[in-house]
């Protein structure tokens, strides 16, 4: 078994054991912070993701602090609370973001900093987007059925970022067979494999080299994420914003 597969399997096992660390939900906070993407809603990779081979090899969520018990515990609690009551989960998020949105007119929220969509998560996003219509919600996913369902809700402030790679290109066809709408906020990104040199693909709106190594980008254009071309990437998603301001959607 490859090391990357072992990491994913081990994370699944660790996630399944996080009930050991579960405590009262009274002081539980849903949001997590990342110096690159900002605030996000995270869920456990081991129980929500459907990774491709490339995803397993390149995912930043398989190592480091985000895989430690405290982080996993938070992710599992988020999943449990969301599945128990999507509406209450959305309301809790609204309460948490208030202090941030009050200070920042450009505040946005990333959904799935790690982890992926499930039925109740789609319901929670619907509730949140409806109650907070001015909040850009950037949703990253690799699961066709949930991506299509969310896109078909035609929520103007929800941007569905569907991640593809060399080993999962067939998921694009699956998404589009499930969609019942044509004009929606869904767009595609491409994640390069290790040592893969990216050549432009017509329907790709955002490109990520492995470990953001620009040496593996054959042609730099507007689809190349600035994380690949800047040495200081702190706060870069807030500076760029194309994944949740309509630019990536309109590129397709």
The structural domains of the chain, with segments of one domain joined by +, span: 31-42+82-251
Residue 76: pLDDT band (50, 70, 90) is very high
pLDDT recorded at residue 25? 61
Average pLDDT over residues 63-81: 89
Predicted pLDDT of residue 26: 60
Closest CA to 62 of 97, 13, 111: 13
Q: Where do we find the tokens 């569905």?
A: 160
- Mean pLDDT for the stretch of residues 110-122: 98
Q: Which stretch of 1-15, 78-92, 120-134 has the lowest confidence by average pLDDT?
A: 1-15
> How buried is 95 (Cβ within 10 angstroms: 0-12 exposed, 13-18 middle, 19+ buried)?
exposed
| Alpha-carbon span 35 to 37, nearest angstrom | 6
The radius of gyration of the chain's CA atoms, rounded to the nearest angstrom, is 17
The answer on pLDDT for 126 being more than 70 is yes
Q: What is the C-alpha to C-alpha distance for residues 58 and 110, in angstroms, rounded to an integer?
A: 20
Residues 10-57: pLDDT tens digits? 545 555 544 534 445 668 999 999 999 999 999 999 999 999 999 888
Encoding tokens for residue 177? 């067979």
Q: What per-residue confidence (pLDDT) applies to 10?
A: 52
Q: Which of 225, 172, 139 is closest to 52 using CA atoms?
A: 172
pLDDT of residue 218: 86
Higher pLDDT, 19 or 127: 127
- 3 state DSSP class of 94: helix
Counting every residue, how long is the chain?
252
Q: How far apart are CA 180 and CA 120, in angstroms?
A: 20
**Residues 79, 83: Cα–Cα separation, whole Å:** 6
Tell me what the mean pLDDT of segment 77-98 comes to. Answer: 97
**Which percentage of the chain shows pLDDT scores above 70?**
89
For helices 119-131 and 69-84, the axis angle rounded to 10 degrees is 80
Confidence of residue 6 (pLDDT cuts 50, 70, 90): very low
More confident residue, 219 or 148: 148
Range name among 131-140, 143-152, 173-182, 210-219 with the lowest pLDDT average:
210-219
For residue 147 the two structure tokens come to 């991506």
246: left (phi over 0), alpha (psi -120 to 50) or beta: left
The residue with greater pLDDT, 215 or 41, is 41
pLDDT(64) > 80: no
Q: What distance in Å separates the CA atoms of residue 136 and residue 100, rounded to the nearest whole number? A: 13
Percent with pLDDT over 90 in the chain = 78
- The four Cα atoms 37, 42, 48, 52 give a dihedral, to 10 degrees, of 20
Do the Cβ atoms of 54 and 166 come closer than 8 Å? yes
Tokens of 104: 């920042």
Please report which confidence band the pLDDT of residue 65 belongs to, taking 50, 70 and 90 as the band edges. Answer: confident
**Predicted pLDDT of residue 58:** 85
Judged against a pLDDT cut of 60, whether residue 118 lies above it is answered with yes
Question: What's the pLDDT at 7?
Answer: 46
pLDDT, tens digit, 9 for 90 and up, residues 143-195: 999 999 999 999 999 999 999 999 999 999 999 999 999 899 999 999 999 99
- Residue 150 · residue 137 · CB < 8 Å: no
Nearest Cα neighbor of 242 from 207, 201, 214, 192 is: 207
Strand partners, 162: 141, 188
């Amino acid at each position: 078994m490859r090391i990357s597969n072992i990491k994913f399997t081990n994370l699944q096992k660790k996630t399944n054991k996080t009930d050991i660390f579960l405590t009262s939900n009274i002081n539980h906070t849903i949001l997590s912070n990342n110096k690159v993407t900002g605030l996000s809603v995270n869920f456990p990779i081991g129980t929500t993701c459907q990774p491709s081979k490339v995803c397993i090899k390149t995912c930043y969520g398989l190592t480091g602090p985000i895989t430690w018990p405290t982080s996993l515990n938070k992710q599992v609690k988020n999943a449990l609370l969301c599945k128990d009551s999507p509406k209450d989960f959305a309301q809790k998020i609204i309460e948490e973001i208030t202090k941030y949105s009050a200070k920042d007119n450009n505040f946005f929220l990333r959904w799935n900093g790690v982890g992926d969509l499930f039925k109740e998560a789609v319901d929670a996003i619907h509730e949140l987007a409806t109650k907070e219509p001015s909040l850009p919600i950037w949703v990253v996913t690799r699961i066709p059925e949930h991506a299509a369902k969310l896109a078909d809700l035609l929520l103007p402030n929800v941007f569905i970022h569907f991640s593809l790679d060399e080993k999962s290109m067939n998921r694009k066809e699956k998404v589009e067979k499930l969609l019942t709408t044509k004009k929606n906020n869904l767009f595609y990104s491409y994640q390069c494999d290790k040592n893969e040199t990216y050549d432009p693909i017509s329907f790709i709106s955002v490109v990520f080299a492995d470990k953001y190594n620009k040496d593996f980008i054959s042609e730099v254009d507007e689809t190349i994420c600035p994380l690949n071309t800047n040495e200081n990437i702190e706060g870069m998603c807030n500076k760029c914003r194309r994944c949740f301001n309509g630019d990536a959607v309109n590129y397709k």
